[in-house]
Amino acid sequence: MDIKCIALDLDMTTLDREGRLSEENRQALEYAIGKGVHIMIASGRSFDSLPADVLAVPGIEYAITSNGAAVYHIPTGCRMIGYMLEPHSVREIMARTADLPLTYEAFLDGVAYADAGYVQDPVAHGAAPRAIRYIQTTRHPEADIRGFILGHCDQLDSLDLITGAPELKARTEDLLRRTVPDIYVTSSVPQLIEISHRNAGKHSGVRFVAELLGLSPAQVAAFGDGDNDADMLTYVGCGIAVENATPACRSAARYVTARHDQNGVARGIYDILHI
């Protein structure tokens, strides 16, 4: 393999149980950068909520955020490309889900906003306890999140629906895919339905950066763990799932490395760079 670029999902892939970059993974990233390999983030997170210890690694150049809704040049903070949701799609999503027992979070200009009740008690809405600190430190609480979304329907990077009920989630995903035009629907964690423009997706962001760098998909590797990583792992020449990945992600991968909390990214990087 002639890998010239690596795309990294963050949570439950590159980051440990505490949401931090381990020393082993950091060293592997620096090793790859030293060999001339381009490193990019490919996350469901907004730009505003990317972790400081990843951004601090010298040489990480690009960040695909909000599941491909935007791509940023990290050193300058410049938004290079973005796909905002169509206003009619946002209004249709809100109308279709108005009577359902779920809530929302919205991403606008790289910043995350969420229902105040969800921010106060994420676990009550289906989030894992390990995610409490992340949610409470990265979401701006809104008392009327539906009103906020409808009031900014022409400015949204992406939109999440939040429910701790698996059957409701599956039913709602199917409903939206069938009835709302111009959207890309995916999920990174059990409580979220993540919605962005039809041209988004992490694979779209990876393609944009690869073309910018003059690279073919065969020269790109990617690491992931969630359903929202599957398209990206399929697109690149070397898709790698961590051991804790979802079935959809694992089936899209070329091979499986160790768990996220066992430095699977570091092991995978050394493998593909033939160390």
Count the residues in the chain. 275
Alpha-carbon gap, residue 159 to 249, rounded angstroms: 22
223, 257 in Cβ contact below 8 A?
yes
Alpha-carbon gap, residue 204 to 20, rounded angstroms: 26
196, 67 in Cβ contact below 8 A?
yes
Alpha-carbon gap, residue 122 to 144, rounded angstroms: 17
194: Cβ–Cβ under 8 A, 6 or more apart, which residues? 44, 67, 158, 159, 160, 185, 186, 187, 188, 228
pLDDT at position 13 is: 98
- Alpha-carbon distances, residue 123 vs 190, 215, 262 (angstroms): 12, 42, 26
In the chain, what are the domains?
Answer: 5-82+201-272 (3.40.50.1000), 87-197 (3.30.1240.10)
Edge-to-edge strand list for the sheet holding 38-42: 78-82, 70-73, 60-65, 38-42, 5-8, 220-224, 238-242, 255-257
Residue range 88-126, pLDDT digits in tens: 999 999 999 999 999 999 999 999 999 999 999 999 999
Q: Among positive and negative, which fits the CA dihedral 6, 7, 12, 17?
A: positive
Residue 18, Cβ density class (10 Å: 0-12 exposed, 13-18 middle, ≥19 buried): exposed
Full pLDDT tens readout for the chain, 275 residues: 799 999 999 999 999 988 999 999 999 999 999 999 999 999 999 999 999 999 999 999 999 999 999 999 999 999 999 999 999 999 999 999 999 999 999 999 999 999 999 999 999 999 999 999 999 999 999 999 999 999 999 999 999 999 999 999 999 999 999 999 899 999 999 999 999 999 999 999 999 999 999 999 999 999 999 999 999 999 999 999 999 999 999 999 999 999 999 999 999 999 999 85
